[in-house]
Structure formats: C-alpha cells, structure tokens
Amino acid sequence: MPIKSHMKHVLDVAAGRKKAQLCITGAKILDVYNKEFFDADLLVTDGAIAGFADPGSGEAERIVDAGGRYLLPGFIDCHVHIESSHATPEEFSNLVVPCGTTTAIVDPHELCNVAGLDGLYYMLDATEKTAVQAFFMVPSCVPATSFEHSGATIGAKDVVQPLSHPRVLGLGEMMDYPGVINADNEVLEKIIAARQAGKVVDGHSPEIAGKSLDAYTSVRIRSDHECESVQEMRDRIRRGMYILLREGSASHNVLTLLGGVTDRNIRRCCFCTDDRQPKSILEEGHINNNVRLAVSAGLDPIEAICMATINSSDCYNLTDRGAIAPGLRADFVLAEDLVDFAMHQVYVAGQLVAQDGKILKAAVGKRDERVASKINIKDFSLERLDLLLKSEHVRVIEVIEGSVATDAGQAYVTVQNGKWVYNPEQDIVKLSVIERHKGTGNVGVALLGGLGMNAGAMATTVGHDSHNMIVCGTNDADMAVAVEHLIEIGGGMAIVKDGKILTSFAQPIGGLMSYEDGPAIAKALDEIHRIAHSDLGVHPHIDPFMTLGFMALPVIPSYKLTDMGLFDVRVFDFVDMEI
C-alpha cells in the first residue's frame, strides 16, 4: 500500500472516522514512555496501531478479549547468530516468535565466514516473509582475524552495497579490536562506510579498558555484548555504548551484569541471546527468558520489558516499533503474567501469528545452493594429528564451565618418542583445527584441559568464527575416523569411540545448519550430547559441542587454537606449545 494511503487509513481510524480492523479489549497496556500500565482498548488497522478507546468501547471488524492479560510491545533480540540454532532462518522464526520475539537483529557472520556475502543474501531472502522481523548487520570480520583461514573474505569495498539494503542496519560486531585501536586502514574504511550510510556499528571488546577502550569507542561503536563484569559494563556505558545483557546457551551474563543496572543507566541496557540452541528456546524461551531472569533477580518488570523493547529500538534506530503508541507497527504480545512471561498471543503487524506457545503458520526452509556445505580438506592423514613436543612443560587451553572464554593453563604432560601421549590421570586431551574451505592443508594441534573427556573423539564443522573442522580426543585413530566421517556427510557433528561412529548429526547448510525442525534438531543434539557425557566422559555441566565450537575463536580470551597454531588472545599473537 502506498505510504500516503496507509497514513490516511490509520488517521481515519485514529480520529474515529472509520472502524478499526482489530480491537484488543480487556488488556493492561504497557506505556514504556511513562513506565506504567493503563486500561484501554487498543485499535489496530493496516498493520499499525491507530490509537486507543475507553475500556470496552472500541469498535472494530474483529474484537479480541485479552481477559486481563498484559499487552506489551513485541520483544527485540539485539544480537543473534541464527546459525547457532542449527536451524534455517525460517525455522528460527518458528521457534522464537511464540516466545514473544517479534524482531531480531541478526549478524550472519558465521555463515558468511563459510559462504561470503551469499550467506547474508540467503538469510535476507529466507526471512522476507517470516513472522519474525529480521534485520541484519553486515559482518565486519570475515575472517575474524588474519590468524586463521575462513571460506571467504569480506573487505571494505564489499560492505558498501549491502549497507544500502533497507533491512541492513549496520556493521556487525567489530571483533578486530586491535585493528580499530591501531587505526588499521581496512577496518576504518568499513566503519566509515557504515557511518556514511547512516548505519550503526556493533562492538565486541572483551577485557579492553582505559586508553584502549577510549580508542575503540572513539569511532562511535554503538554496542557491546561481551561484558563479563559490572565494571566492564559501566566503563562502556560511560563511553556512550549500549550494553546487551546476553543469555545464550553457553554464555550466561544477565544475572552477573544485572548488578550494574541502575535507575540512571538502564536506558543504555538491552537484551540479546547471541548464540541459543533449539532446546534452550523450547524449554526456557528466548528474550522472554532474559526478562524472566531479570525480574526473578529483583528488577522491576516494567524496566525489564523496556530493556527488551524501547531501549532496543532506540539502540538500532528502529523508530517504528518498541512501544505501544499510535503510528507504530502493531507488533505486540499478550503475556499471561509478569513473572514467567509465557505468551498467550503474539501479533506481528496486527496479525495473530502465535498462540499459547505455538506458531500458527510455520515457515518452511528452502534449499539454496548458495549455502550448500563445502568441505575442501587437503592431504589429511593420521600423522597430521601428531603433537610434536621437545618439553613436557606445555601450555593448555583450559575450559571455563558456562563460558566461551578459556583460561591460559599449563601442565607437565607425557611425551613419548617426541609426541604427546594421552595420560588417563590428567584431564587433558588433544585438540585439532583442520582448515576445510580452501584446501590449504593447514592443521593446528594443541591441548585442551577441563573437558572431562576420557575416551574416544568428537568432531564438528561448527567452529566459530571461521568454521574450520574441530576435533578433540584421547587418541589419534578415533579423531581421524571422526574427521573422515564429517567429510563424508558434508559437515555437522560426530562422536567416535574405539573406531566406531556412535552418532552423528549432518548439517548441510554450510556445515552449520540443518533443514530439520526445531524439535528434531533439539532431539539430535540431546542424543549427541548424551553420548558425549555417557560414553566419552565429558563433564555433565559442560555443553560438549558448544564448548568445542568456541575453542577456535581467536577474539575471546585467553588461549584458542586456529588452523595456524595456538593463539593467545591477550597479546593477539601465536605462542609456542612449550613453556
């Protein structure tokens, strides 16, 4: 509909000259501006909020009785990687909309590291008609660093065209913080392109402080979702950033950071999920889970809802949503209460799209050759997994339970004939990252501690952010079988013990995602995790594959492994295995 015609229709309903298409009566409506609830009938027409009527007096073609429920703006996820759900964008929408998430700010840098900008355009096309309103950020770091090999490179000139797309809001999380701080020309050109397009730049700045943080924020980076402490949070808000309190499947920051949220700074606080798997969404929810956690910890419900709505829309300049007010999109939910935040109904552009936890019309993912899985591994053999050592005193990547960060550990290990050998008395296994995109033949090998693994091997092609193949195990033979199996099925996850494939989960979309529905993906992941815990001994409180997938991410401290070697994120350089 032409904008003028739409405007006139809404005006006619607002002024009482015409009847609304939809009236919600009997609801407690949240006013996020005055931060209070009020009683009124809500009038909706042509996908927009037209206005209000006295309780029980609203006239419309369709009247819905809310039964005293709470009418809230649709929730906004400020930063999410759809790929981490292992589902198609369409199935992601089916999963999150019943939880009350009507808008998602998506950073597709996982898929773009495999498929380049084809990954972005695939997701734009796939979400064109989904219930969730998906906006996108152009990935800023493909590859994430120059210390690894990914499937594509997105340069400063490459980001210009996608930044002009109406559903692209800006430049994705700027993980190359050394590049920003040191005024790298290519990094600055990307930021300038976003600013010239009038778009925002997302941040990623773990453990940066002082002058380095001043430098990082001086280029007007807008947000950060990587705060691990209240002090980090306050330092960034002081410098004008929005802080996204994250509650993913692996990273749980809401309760930690909530202590830093005050009456004075809450307008700069929002919610995100970042990386969240189907099981977590099906069992706990999505952004409504962030809100629930915050309220359970003592935050005023209205303030928590504002963090999930109006604060988020302000952060990303989404001026048509985030509140219940005339002229805005009719994206709203009817919540059962202000404790559990279960959603009775979810409306998008005035249309009922979900009820009582179920999507009403499921979107179906379409196969797309642009993002077909690509496994190009050259010259792999059992011998490539050897870890040659001259000393028993070595560096160890230490897993931190519940975090994607690691500790910089060290240990005295067993060395025989110049090679590392598994010692069952030590909680240390071999870790390898194998380049899978361009056939470089690169194989990085290191040691991983704290996983609890005492047998077999597990492998995945989900290896943030370059998504090379990652495999860990107690012996090279099982590790090699796991690698060969993933090559055969085109990527995914696999577990091997005593030379036998115990289970695997194929992910044909870039080696990252499946065409299965959410419950089927959750079941497959449950099974693969169960076997990792029961047969391989992985600690029960560690998510095996989520943890494994982040062991190759060289932008989150401390030690990580890329296909080029052991990397110390604190100094942003490679380090030797031996101490």
In this prediction, residues 184-196 reach a mean pLDDT of 97
Return the pLDDT at 2. 85
> Could you tell me which of 174, 95, 86 has the C-alpha nearest to residue 132?
95
Each residue's pLDDT tens digit, 119-131: 999 999 999 999 9
Report residue 301 as tokens. Answer: 């419900």
Judge if 125 and 54 occupy the same domain. Answer: no
Judge if 388 and 344 occupy the same domain. Answer: no
Return the pLDDT at 546. 86
Res. 207 pLDDT band, cuts 50 70 90: confident
In this prediction, residues 314-341 reach a mean pLDDT of 98
Q: What percent of the chain has pLDDT over 90?
A: 92
Judge if 400 and 524 occupy the same domain. Answer: yes
Return the pLDDT at 144. 81
Mean pLDDT of all residues belonging to the chain: 96
403 has pLDDT over 80: no
CA–CA separation, 15 and 314 (whole Å): 28
Judge if 64 and 78 occupy the same domain. Answer: no
In this prediction, residues 170-198 reach a mean pLDDT of 96
Return the pLDDT at 489. 94
Judge if 55 and 183 occupy the same domain. Answer: no
Res. 404 pLDDT band, cuts 50 70 90: confident
Specify if 44 maps to a domain.
yes
Return the pLDDT at 283. 96
- CATH number of 20's domain: 2.30.40.10
1 has pLDDT over 80: no
Q: How far is CA 330 from the centre of its chain?
A: 26
Residues in the chain, overall count: 579
- Residue 489 φ then ψ, to 5°: -95, 0
Return the pLDDT at 470. 98
Specify if 220 maps to a domain.
yes
Each residue's pLDDT tens digit, 487-500: 999 999 999 999 99
Each residue's pLDDT tens digit, 10-53: 999 999 999 999 999 999 999 999 999 999 999 999 999 999 99
> Could you tell me which of 64, 58, 103, 61 has the C-alpha nearest to residue 80?
103
Res. 374 pLDDT band, cuts 50 70 90: confident
In this prediction, residues 213-228 reach a mean pLDDT of 97
Report residue 211 as tokens. Answer: 């002058």
Q: Are 88 and 96 in contact (CB under 8 A)?
A: no
Judge if 322 and 432 occupy the same domain. Answer: no
402 has pLDDT over 80: no
Specify if 566 maps to a domain.
yes
Q: Pick from 68, 86, 108: which residue ends a domain? A: 68
Domains contained in the chain, number? 3
Judge if 153 and 63 occupy the same domain. Answer: no
Judge if 299 and 383 occupy the same domain. Answer: no
Specify if 365 maps to a domain.
no
Looking at the DSSP bridge assignments, the partners of residue 428 are 449
- Write the burial class of residue 491 (CB in 10 Å: 0-12 exposed, 13-18 middle, 19+ buried): buried
Judge if 45 and 79 occupy the same domain. Answer: no
Q: Are 545 and 462 in contact (CB under 8 A)?
A: yes
Q: Could you tell me the end-to-end alpha-carbon distance of the chain, in angstroms, rounded to an integer?
A: 68
- CATH number of 279's domain: 3.20.20.140
552 has pLDDT over 90: yes
In this prediction, residues 541-552 reach a mean pLDDT of 91
250 has pLDDT over 80: no
**CA dihedral over 341, 104, 87, 402, signed as positive or negative:** negative
Return the pLDDT at 249. 83
576 has pLDDT over 90: yes
Specify if 363 maps to a domain.
no
Using only C-alpha atoms, the chain has a radius of gyration, in whole angstroms, of 24
In this prediction, residues 541-554 reach a mean pLDDT of 91
Each residue's pLDDT tens digit, 446-485: 999 999 999 999 999 999 889 999 999 999 999 999 999 9
Give the CA count within 13 Å in the CB-facing half-sphere of 243: 29
Q: Pick from 46, 68, 90: which residue ends a domain? A: 68
CA–CA separation, 491 and 468 (whole Å): 10
In this prediction, residues 397-407 reach a mean pLDDT of 88
Judge if 495 and 351 occupy the same domain. Answer: no
Judge if 388 and 445 occupy the same domain. Answer: yes
572 has pLDDT over 90: no
SS3 call for 428: strand
Q: Pick from 68, 95, 122: which residue ends a domain? A: 68
Specify if 364 maps to a domain.
no
Structural domain span for residue 32: 3-68
Looking at the DSSP bridge assignments, the partners of residue 395 are 410
**β-strand pairing of 200-203 with 168-174:** parallel
Judge if 282 and 407 occupy the same domain. Answer: no
Between CA 192 and CA 224, with CA 275 as vertex, the angle to 5 degrees is 40
- Residue 436 φ then ψ, to 5°: -125, 5
CA–CA separation, 384 and 477 (whole Å): 11
Specify if 366 maps to a domain.
no
Specify if 93 maps to a domain.
yes
In this prediction, residues 369-379 reach a mean pLDDT of 91
The CB density around residue 145, as the number of other CB atoms within 10 Å, is 22
Q: Are 146 and 116 in contact (CB under 8 A)?
A: no
